[in-house]
Structures are given as structure tokens and as C-alpha cells.
Amino acid sequence: MQARLIVRRQSASKAIDWPESVPPLLRRVYGARAIESAAELDYALQHLEPPGLLGGLEAAVDLLEQALREGQRIVVVGDFDADGATSTALCLRALRAMGARDVRYLVPNRFEFGYGLTPEIVAVAAGLRPHLIMTVDNGISSHAGVEAARQQGIRVLITDHHLPGSVLPPADATVNPNSPGDAFPSKNLAGVGVAFYVMLALRSRLRTRGWFGQQGIPEPNLGRLLDLVALGTVADVVPLDRNNRILVQHGIQRIRSGQCVPGIRALLAVGRRDAARCVSTDLAFAVGPRLNAAGRLEDMSLGIECLLTDDGHSAREMAARLDALNRDRKEIESDMQTRALEAIRELHLEAQGLPTGLCLFHPDWHQGVIGILAARIKERFHRPVIAFARVGNGELKGSARSIPGFHIRDALDAVAAHHPELITRFGGHAMAAGLTLDEAHYPDFAAAFDAEAARLLSAEDLNHTIHSDGELQGDEFSLETAQALREAGPWGQGFPAPVFDGRFRLISQRVVGERHLKLVLQPIDGEGQIDAIAFNTGELPGSCPEVRAAYQLDVNEYRGMLTAQLVVEHIEAV
């Protein structure tokens, strides 16, 4: 019932005159990722796209400069995920460093207020009597919320990266690289990246006007906030184009050198990751999920406070609480995934064929975890998936995850255009989106979404394709090669870590944990052996002498010892 898996080898898009310092293996890897010159791998900060190209910055900086000069109260309204948390922490740290005397934050509790700058969260913010509301990682779809703020006499600055609708909210200023006609070349900034650019522009304005000297405060080094930018960018799974890779690389360098906020260091520690050897996958799989757990199960304020504190002891205490929440989240997710798979079997979908666009709903599902559930089912069946949970008042909240080639936000837009009565509201981007609808409309929506997916996706699109960088030679199964690959990133969405494939002799296997498979493999054309781990994989047939595997070559650390290890993405008996 799982998607058919295909391993397809990729090759360089064009010939490149590489310098001798780039090893042949990395030349092959970079070439397959459409790198056209070695200069594209120069991640110096001077190569960042200039802030002046980002639309709306002048009006945004006008609002913020006035707030600073007049001592106005600023309330930052964030989102309840890791991107929103890092954006919020970054803005508070930057604004305070630039002399803001009264800056606070609010983050909506997803169970009470839902997503974005809603009229309800504006009412809460109004109780703080702000002069200016600044949204981070949200707001581009918050028409009613902006109107509510205007009625209260509160100015609104929207900073966001999600795709806007045809009409923008009537905010006093809007900064979003995806706004219609915006000239900023990198459309892939995360919310925290947009917030960072706004703070850069504000600092530049204040510097030009002599603000720091007038106030007797040092001009802040905003590069110190790049650890937050790296975390939010990687955790939000935005494409790592060159601009984002520059931001992430410098953030990781700060983490490695011990110059990150105590909260990131503490979250790495509870995730059993070495900050001195941090790479983007550590942020994606160790830090991001623990930070997100607060917003999924309780309130993201805990995550934001963890990123705001400068006290190491407090950071460790909060990281421990976030780690406990993440364990709870895993238990809830496991139960939900079991029910989802049971629902698929009960509907006899394996006989009829799965819908191209798969919708799932159970009345007991936790609305904070449906996004992860949708991602897990998407990975298993390789098709767009929307998981729904009840949110009260007869409404369902849906969290959508997509596959390459299917723009999920545009698909929801198409469904809404053809069936305007079905969706109450929606928003998102290419690979992930959220929506709300009346529970009574769920069957009709599920059918309409499947029809839209079937219109755009072919049977070939529904095959799970692993893009391989080819085979490794016997002498390349080494710690030296693994370390070189690890350092050659940052890897992530749109710039994936190298994956190789080949045939091996199966020397031994054993199940560890619940369903993880530890193996010892020997390359067919080599004499040495190498350890491998295949997560969530059942045991292979005991009589199978050879296997074919797609894998990453990584570094494993155990009791202070570093060794090369294969992280298996797919394995099958030959």
C-alpha cells in the first residue's frame, strides 16, 4: 500500500571549471544541485541580497523609528511554530539593543485564537495599549485583524513570507518578499529572515541619523542574531537558496563557536547533539521539534522565553520542559498515526486505490499534531495529505503537506474558487498550508481536493523518487569523506544532503529500539565493512546475502569516538 519507490541517479546540469580545492566527489554533488560556479559556494555575508531590494522597508522603518524616538509601546505578534518563535525572539532582542524602551510580545495560543493576527488576538493586544503591532511570520492574510487594530487606533506593521491573496490587508506597512511586484530576488526567506532584514534596515536608518550616539548606546552587531535566523530558516523547511544558505551557514558558525543564545545550546544538549559540531540537520531534527512542541501542545511562550533568556540555568530548565513536551507529542502522534492507517484500511482504500489528494479526519485527533501526522502519511504514501481535527463551533482545522510538483496553497485556492462555500479560510505556501472549514463540508471538500490533485498529478508523480548522487567507491566509505560531506552544506530543503546508492553484502543485522535496523554492510566492490542504520525499518529476510541501498554517508559519534556510518533511506534484498 506504500508508494512505489524509485532510485534515480542525477548528474550535473553543466560542465564547471572547478578549482583544485574542490574534491571530485563534491564537484559531482554540487553539479547535480545546479551549482554553476564555485563562486556560488562563497557564503560571505557580503553576498547577501541587499535589504534595499525588499519592498515596504522604508514605510516599515518609518514606523519603527518613530516608535523608538517617541518611546512608544511595540507589541510583536508571532506565530506558534519555530519560525514564529525565532522571529519574535530576534525582534525583541534587536529592538531592545537599538534602544526600544517598551517592546513586548504576544503569541496566539492555537487552541484559543487560531493562526495569525485575528480580531481576537488584537483584542488581547489592545489590553496592552500598544501604539504599534508588528507581526512576524504571519499577518499577510489577516484582513479582519488589521481592520480591528485600525478601529482601535493601533498601527500595524506586517512582516511575513507566506503567499498573499489577491488583496493585501490595509496595514500601515507590509514587508513580504512574496508580495505582488516585490523586487527582492530571494522569495524563499523564512519569517525570521524577513524580520532580520527589517532589523538590518532599521539599524542602517538609525546609524545614518546618529541615533546610537545620541542615546549613548553601542550600535548592535545584528550578526549575533544569526543563530536564531539559522534555526527558524531550517525548522520552517524553506528552500535553501544561496541567500538562505549564507544566513544558515553563519548562524551555524556562531553556534559552533559557543556564541549562540543559551536556549539553542540547551536544546541541542537535551537532543544529545554537540553544539561544537552542529549542522543544519541538528537544527531540523533536534532543536526545531522540541521548540515546536510548546506551540503544538501548550503555548509557544515557553519556547520564546527559552530563546530570550541569557541565563544558562533558566535555559536548561526550559529546554528540559520542552523536551518533555516533545516526548508527549511523540506519543500522541504515534496513536494518531495508528488510527490514520486503520482508517485507510477500513475504507478499503488499498483495494480501490488511494485518492490522489488524501484527506483524513478523526474526532479525537489533537489539532496541535495534525501537521506532523499529515507529513508522516505523506512520506508513507507520497501524495498530498490534509489531516483534520475538531476545533469547536462545528469547525475543522486542516494541516496540509505536499509533494514536489503540487503547490498546495494554489490547490486550495483553486478549490476555493470552484467551491466558494467549502473553505472558511486558508493560507500557506508550496509545500505546507493550513485551512478551516465547517465539519459538515468535510466530505465535499475531500472530494474536491482529490479532484484537484488528480487533475494536476500523474501516476508517475505519485512514485516516491530518491534522487541519488550515484555510487561511492570503496575508498570513499571513510570518515574523511563523511566529514567532508557533512561540512559541504548547509543542506536542507531545495539543497538536499548527498544521497548515494549501491549494492552491498549483508554481513549482519539486528533490530534496536522499536523498529530501527542496525546493519553491517560490505560494498560489493570493496573489502572493508561499514556500520549502517535504517530507521523505522523491519528486519530483512535472514537468507538475503545482498542488498541494494540508498543512503547518506554521515559521521556517527559514540562515547567520544567518530566513525563513518551509512544512514539508510531505502534498502531491499537483491
Q: Verify that 291 and 223 share a domain, yes or no.
A: yes
Amino acid identity for residue 115 in this structure = Y
Q: Verify that 162 and 291 share a domain, yes or no.
A: yes
Q: Verify that 148 and 66 share a domain, yes or no.
A: yes
3-state helix vs strand vs coil in the chain, percent to 5: 45, 20, 35
Q: Verify that 179 and 315 share a domain, yes or no.
A: yes
CA distance 266 to 315: 6
Interacting residues of 267 by C-beta distance below 8 A, sequence separation 6+: 286, 287, 290, 291, 306, 319, 322, 323
CA distance 563 to 556: 5
Nearest to 371, CA basis, from 390, 393, 399: 399
Q: Verify that 158 and 293 share a domain, yes or no.
A: yes
Region of 28 please: left (phi>0), alpha (psi -120 to 50) or beta.
Answer: alpha
Please return the burial class of 266, using the count of CB atoms within 10 Å of its CB with bins 0-12, 13-18 and 19+.
buried
Alpha-carbon distance values, 403 to 268, 465, 561 (Å):
29, 11, 38
CATH number, position 530: 2.40.50.460
The pTM of this model reads 0.91
CATH number, position 370: 3.10.310.30
As given in the structure block, the three cell numbers for residue 336 are 494518531
Q: Verify that 496 and 401 share a domain, yes or no.
A: no
Q: What pairing do the DSSP bridges indicate for beta strands 395-401 and 385-392?
A: antiparallel
Q: Can you tell me which residue has the cell 560490505?
A: 522
Assigned domain for 71 exists: yes
As given in the structure block, the three cell numbers for residue 126 are 489592545
Query: Is the separation of the CB atoms in 91 and 137 below 8 Å?
Result: no
Query: Looking at the 3D structure of the chain, how many domains does it have?
Result: 3
CA distance 425 to 222: 36
Say how many C-beta atoms besides its own lie within 10 A of residue 526's C-beta. Answer: 18
Q: Verify that 270 and 379 share a domain, yes or no.
A: no
As given in the structure block, the three cell numbers for residue 123 are 483584542
Amino acid identity for residue 141 in this structure = S
Q: Give, for 453, the enclosing helix (H) or strand (E).
A: helix 442-456
Assigned domain for 250 exists: yes
Say how many C-beta atoms besides its own lie within 10 A of residue 554's C-beta. Answer: 19
Contacts of residues 518-526 at CB distance under 8 Å and 24 or more positions apart, as own/partner, are 519/568, 519/571, 521/547, 521/549, 521/566, 523/472, 523/474, 523/477, 525/473, 525/474, 526/473, 526/474, 526/475, 526/477
Q: What are phi and psi of 468, to 5 degrees?
A: -100, 145
Q: Verify that 109 and 212 share a domain, yes or no.
A: yes
Domain boundary among 404, 434, 462: 462
Question: For position 458, what pLDDT does the model report?
Answer: 92
Q: Verify that 374 and 294 share a domain, yes or no.
A: no
Query: Is the separation of the CB atoms in 81 and 140 below 8 Å?
Result: no
Interacting residues of 275 by C-beta distance below 8 A, sequence separation 6+: 255, 256, 258, 260, 264, 265, 268, 269
CA distance 418 to 401: 21
Q: Verify that 298 and 440 share a domain, yes or no.
A: no
Domain boundary among 307, 323, 339: 323
Helix (H/G/I), strand (E/B), else coil: 432: strand
CA distance 295 to 297: 6
Assigned domain for 27 exists: no
Q: Can you tell me which residue has the cell 529592538?
A: 95
CA distance from start to end of the chain: 21
**Maximum pairwise Cα distance, the chain:** 78
Domain, as residue range, for 537: 468-573
Assigned domain for 429 exists: yes
Interacting residues of 398 by C-beta distance below 8 A, sequence separation 6+: 359, 370, 386, 387, 388, 434, 435, 436, 437
DSSP assignment of 74-103, as one string? Answer: EEEE--SSHHHHHHHHHHHHHHHHTT-SSE
Question: For position 12, what pLDDT does the model report?
Answer: 67
Q: What are phi and psi of 174, to 5 degrees?
A: -135, 130
Question: For position 13, what pLDDT does the model report?
Answer: 63
User: To 10 degrees, what angle do helices 143-151 and 119-126 make?
Assistant: 30
Q: Verify that 288 and 408 share a domain, yes or no.
A: no
Question: For position 448, what pLDDT does the model report?
Answer: 97
Q: Verify that 316 and 363 share a domain, yes or no.
A: no
CA distance 469 to 553: 12
Assigned domain for 35 exists: no
Assigned domain for 219 exists: yes
Domain boundary among 323, 358, 388: 323
DSSP assignment of 295-328, as one string? Answer: HHHS-THHHHHHHH---HHHHHHHHHHHHHHHHH
pLDDT tens digits in sequence order for the chain, 574 residues long = 455 667 777 776 667 888 888 999 999 999 999 898 899 999 999 999 999 999 999 999 999 999 999 999 999 999 989 999 999 999 999 999 999 999 999 998 877 777 789 999 999 999 999 999 999 999 999 999 999 999 999 999 999 999 898 899 999 999 999 999 999 999 999 999 999 999 999 999 999 999 999 999 999 999 999 999 999 999 999 999 999 999 999 999 999 999 999 999 999 999 999 999 999 999 999 999 999 999 988 889 999 999 999 999 999 999 999 999 999 999 999 999 999 998 877 765 554 678 999 999 999 999 999 999 999 999 889 999 999 999 988 999 999 999 988 999 999 999 999 999 999 989 888 888 999 999 999 999 999 999 999 999 998 899 888 899 999 998 899 999 999 999 999 999 999 999 999 999 999 998 887 778 999 999 998 778 999 999 877 777 767 889 999 999 999 988 889 999 999 999 988 8
Assigned domain for 16 exists: no
Region of 290 please: left (phi>0), alpha (psi -120 to 50) or beta.
Answer: alpha
